[in-house]
Structures are given as C-alpha cells and as structure tokens.
C-alpha cells in the first residue's frame, strides 16, 4: 500500500458513525498514493473558472425558474440503462492514470445521444477519447469542464478505431488514422441545465448529460449504495462524469464514471442530491447535447412502417435499427418514388439500401 493511500477502514467507521447509506471497499484506486489518485481526475478549475461556472449556473437557474411555468415535471425516476428493457448507455471505460475525464464524460454523453437519436439501443458507437483530448487541446494534466463539448461542436470526434486511447499524452497528427476527417461525429449544440427540475427534465427528455464534481478522499472507496461525503473527507480535485439517470425515491443521481467496471457498482455510482460540497448539482450545471448523425449509406435495412400525409412532400419511413426518417423534400430520387419503394419493401418484407443521416433519407433503392 502506498504512502497517503486511502484508509478504507476509517471511511467504513465514518459511514457507520454518521448513519450513511453506502458501502466502501478497497480497490485499485484506494491503494494509490494521492499523487497517483489525482491522475484519475482531470478537470482544471482555476479560481476565476470556478467563479465563472458558479455565476453561469446561478444565472441559468434564474432563467429556468422564470420560464418554468406550464412545463410538465419529469418522472420520479429515470435511468437510460433501462428504458423499456433497453440500454442506451455504452459500456464503462477506464481513463487510467491520465487526467482525461473531460473527454470520457464528453464521449459517453455523445455515444448515448447517438443511440437515442437513432432509436437503437444496440447501435455500436465507440468514440475516441484520445482524439477528443489530445487533438482538442487537452492533455493528461487535464482540461476545462466543457472544453470537450466545444471541440465536439466545432470539429467533432472520430471513432475509437481511428485513434485508440492510451493513458498517456499522445501526439494527435501521428496517432489518428489517415481518413479521420471522414469519421467525425459532431454535436450541433450543448445546453446548460441548472435547477434540479431542469436537470431531471434534460435527462428524461433528451438523454444522459455531462456533469462535473468535486472529488473527496472517500469517493475512491465507493462500492454500492447512495454516496454521501463523510464529514472528515478531504478535497482531492475535480472530475468530469456522465449522469445517466436519477431516482427521487433514493434521492440520487445515477452516474457513469470512467474508472473501469471494477470500481464502484460496475463502474457506476449513485450520488445523493444536494451536497453543496460536491458542486455537482449546486454550483455546476449539467450539459445536454444535440448530436449530428453523419450522413452515410445503410445497406440491407428492413422497412417496418411508412407514413405520409395529404401533403405529398410529407412522407416518412421507419427503418429497423435506425428509426424514423423523413424523406428529404427535393431528394434526387423524388419523395413519391422513394415512398413507393419503401411501401413495397414494407409490404413484401424486402430490404433496402438508403443514404441517410439522423433526420432525413436522401436516396434509396431495393
């Protein structure tokens, strides 16, 4: 055990003494020295940045309260790992001893957004945290909380196979694939959500969100239950995570971390609402994203349903594993012609090949 390692025994004693509802256990991170533990975080927060984030969160909350009249409240609980038996959350990854949590939180949020927009919980999407971090301006020393989102909006993020992650500083130009420009997934925007109601609505109605938090020394030892900081835990640093759900019964956020599946509850943690010291739902916002699905060819696709209104240019088709897409007005193949193709395919259980993005289908043939 390293010097300055986390004393799990003391944490367990504190949990019992304070009547908290979570369990702690030893793991790979609790055995590390403080210097090594800090490498598993990675949000850079200067005093000026802390002040800015807090001020923006308060202003956003005031705006949300002003505009909240008439908005239907979010359900009492929501978890994107189980929506009607379907899991829209991609597997937990491990950033290792490199302060790249911002890119892991960014990619986790974007990956779920892709699955949700496609309406396909089984869709294989694996974005490159290495590209996001090391081509976007970050390093193993860390990055700003929303820097990854800004880069995903301006440039985009390639797939993992294009630039596989290693837990050390990587040179962008020599590490990415040669056709990286054709493999980018982008977001059109990201939005802050600051009141508790706005945070829950964003999760339930849009998807998992990016969040940030202060990490205390007992956090590393989390194993199960609903985490609450013990009284004498000390501040270690700041961390970026992906919030995939919430539970009003247990009064907690459901968080996807980036420390592998051997940490926490299979890589996840439940964090009690309203812990001001953690910043997660008090001083810092949650950020939801609008992802752009790259235009591409899909082959051997089944058409489950078609729809058209009395307006000939308003026609849609539901593609298995992809979801609803509107036939693009002015498409080269013509709206009426494509609708006929999809109608025939649906009626006769035939497959089609389509050229589509996340909103429209532009070309098709049987």
State pLDDT tens for residues 166-218.
999 999 999 999 999 999 999 999 999 999 999 999 999 999 999 999 999 99
| pLDDT, position 173 | 98
State pLDDT tens for residues 60-78.
999 888 676 556 679 999 9
| pLDDT, position 69 | 58
Banded model confidence at residue 296, pLDDT cuts 50, 70, 90 = confident
Q: Who has greater pLDDT, 3 or 320?
A: 320
107 is catalytic: no
CATH of domain 36-292: 3.90.70.10
DSSP helix/strand/coil, 286: strand
| Topology classification of domain 296-365 | OB fold (Dihydrolipoamide Acetyltransferase, E2P) (2.40.50)
Catalytic residue among 27, 94, 193, 257: 257
CA distance 278 to 281: 8
State pLDDT tens for residues 254-289.
999 999 999 999 999 999 999 999 999 999 999 999
Q: What is the DSSP string of 46-91?
A: -HHHHHHHHHHHHHHHHHHHHT-TTPPPPPSEEETT-BTTB--SPP
101 is catalytic: yes
CA distance 21 to 30: 20
Catalytic residue among 132, 193, 201, 239: 239
Summary mean pLDDT of the chain: 94
Quick check: 85 pLDDT over 90?
yes
For the chain, first and last CA: distance in Å?
Answer: 63
| pLDDT, position 70 | 54
When mean pLDDT is compared across 1-15, 33-47, 167-181, 192-206, the lowest value belongs to 1-15
CATH topology agreement for domains 36-292 and 296-365 = no
CA-nearest of 281, 254, 271 to 92 is: 254
Q: Hey, where are the domains in the chain? A: 36-292, 296-365
257 is catalytic: yes
Catalytic residue among 101, 107, 162, 240: 101
When mean pLDDT is compared across 69-78, 181-190, 234-243, 348-357, the lowest value belongs to 69-78
pTM of the model: 0.90
Average pLDDT over residues 45-68: 89
Banded model confidence at residue 321, pLDDT cuts 50, 70, 90 = confident
């Amino acid at each position: 055990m390293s010097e300055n390692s986390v004393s799990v025994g003391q944490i367990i004693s504190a949990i019992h003494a304070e009547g908290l509802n979570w369990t702690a256990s030893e793991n790979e991170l609790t055995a590390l020295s403080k210097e090594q533990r800090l490498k598993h975080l990675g949000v850079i927060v200067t005093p000026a940045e802390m002040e800015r984030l807090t001020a923006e969160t308060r202003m956003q909350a005031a705006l949300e309260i002003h505009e909240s009249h008439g908005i239907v409240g979010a359900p009492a609980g929501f978890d994107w790992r189980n929506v009607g038996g379907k899991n829209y959350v991609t597997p937990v990854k491990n950033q290792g001893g490199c302060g790249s949590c911002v890119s892991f939180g960014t990619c986790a949020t974007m990956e779920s957004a892709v699955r949700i927009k496609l309406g396909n919980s089984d869709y294989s999407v694996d974005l490159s945290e290495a590209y996001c971090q090391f081509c976007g301006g970050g390093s193993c020393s860390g990055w700003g909380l929303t820097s990854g989102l800004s880069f995903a909006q301006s440039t985009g993020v390639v797939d993992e196979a294009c630039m596989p992650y290693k837990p050390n500083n990587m040179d962008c130009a020599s590490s990415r694939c040669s056709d990286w420009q054709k493999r980018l997934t982008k977001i059109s925007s990201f939005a802050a959500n600051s009141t508790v109601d706005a945070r829950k609505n964003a999760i339930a109605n849009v998807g998992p969100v990016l969040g940030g938090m202060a990490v205390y020394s007992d956090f590393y030892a989390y194993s199960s239950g609903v985490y609450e900081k013990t009284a004498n835990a000390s501040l270690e640093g700041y961390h970026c995570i992906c919030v995939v759900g919430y539970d009003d019964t247990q009064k907690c956020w459901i968080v996807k971390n980036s420390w592998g599946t051997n940490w926490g509850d299979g890589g996840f943690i439940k964090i009690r609402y309203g812990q001001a010291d953690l910043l997660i739902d008090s001083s810092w916002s949650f950020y939801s994203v609008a992802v752009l699905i790259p235009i591409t060819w899909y082959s051997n696709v089944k058409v489950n349903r078609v729809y058209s209104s009395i307006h000939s240019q308003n026609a849609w088709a539901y593609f298995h594993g992809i979801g609803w897409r509107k036939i693009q007005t002015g498409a080269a193949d013509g709206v009426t012609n494509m609708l006929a193709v999809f109608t025939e395919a649906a009626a006769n259980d035939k497959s089609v090949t389509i050229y589509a993005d996340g909103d429209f289908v532009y070309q098709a043939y049987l």
